[in-house]
Chain A
């Protein structure tokens, strides 16, 4: 157990729908990162939050949004889902920004869009 908890583990939904993925960071970590892993794109950085504030944005679609709450858990919202959004979504956490810090990853949420 890495200490980073992601729910749900698996999610199957239809095109056009909206889903929310949840992440609880490791105790003491203030930064939360979201990554998307797909066969064709590899591991893509989506977005990072630090202590409730957005700190960096990567290849995140406008249909996707995220936030980090006062208790430091984070949610990734995916809307108007398309077939191509099917992927494994990872949350990771670290004490501060990436830099030299190690990211601790959760087990991922596998999203299947039918």
Chain B
């Protein structure tokens, strides 16, 4: 079974600073990897996903993530944090087409310091 581990349940960065949210996955077969964001009192929405091909994936709102098979990682980054980035971020994994569930990490709450 696949799983994800998000390192750091809370991360604080200053406005304009680099955002780095860490995610490591475990899967016996090539994974599909996702980052979702949850703003207060809202559902989850997709930031970006990796399926196959280019390992550097660009998403919405200036976020990107790099799939590193050797490190089993899929860390999320953004060069310059904005106040509107404050939210909870979830890394998620699924495998092969037809797999019936998406497994989420425990989430990282990102706080932006003015």
Q: Which residues of A contact B (CB under 8 A)?
A: 2, 4, 31, 33, 35, 42-43, 45, 48, 50, 55-56, 58, 90, 92, 96-100, 102-103, 105-108
> Given A99-B94, A100-B32, is A2 in contact with B45 using a C-beta cutoff of 8 Å?
yes
Task: Please state if B107 and A102 are interface contacts (CB–CB under 8 Å).
Answer: no
Residues of the A chain whose Cβ atoms lie less than 8 Å from the Cβ of B103: 45
Answer whether A97 and B100 are a contact pair too, CB < 8 Å, given A42-B107, A43-B90: yes
* The residue from B36, B45, B99 contacting A99, defined by CB atoms under 8 A apart: B99
11 A-B pairs with CB atoms under 8 Å apart are A33-B101, A50-B100, A90-B43, A92-B43, A98-B99, A99-B97, A100-B32, A102-B49, A105-B36, A107-B43, A108-B43
Q: Which residues of B contact A100 (CB under 8 A)?
A: 32, 49, 51, 94, 97
| B46 touches A (CB below 8 Å) | yes
The 9 A-B residue pairs with the shortest CB-CB distance in the complex, in nearest-first order: A56-B100, A105-B43, A99-B97, A43-B104, A100-B51, A98-B94, A105-B44, A97-B98, A42-B106
- With A and B bound together, what is the CA distance between A43 and B51 in angstroms? 22
* Contacts A43-B90, A43-B107, A100-B32; A56 near B101 (Cβ below 8 A): yes
Which chain A residue lies CB-closest to B100?
A56
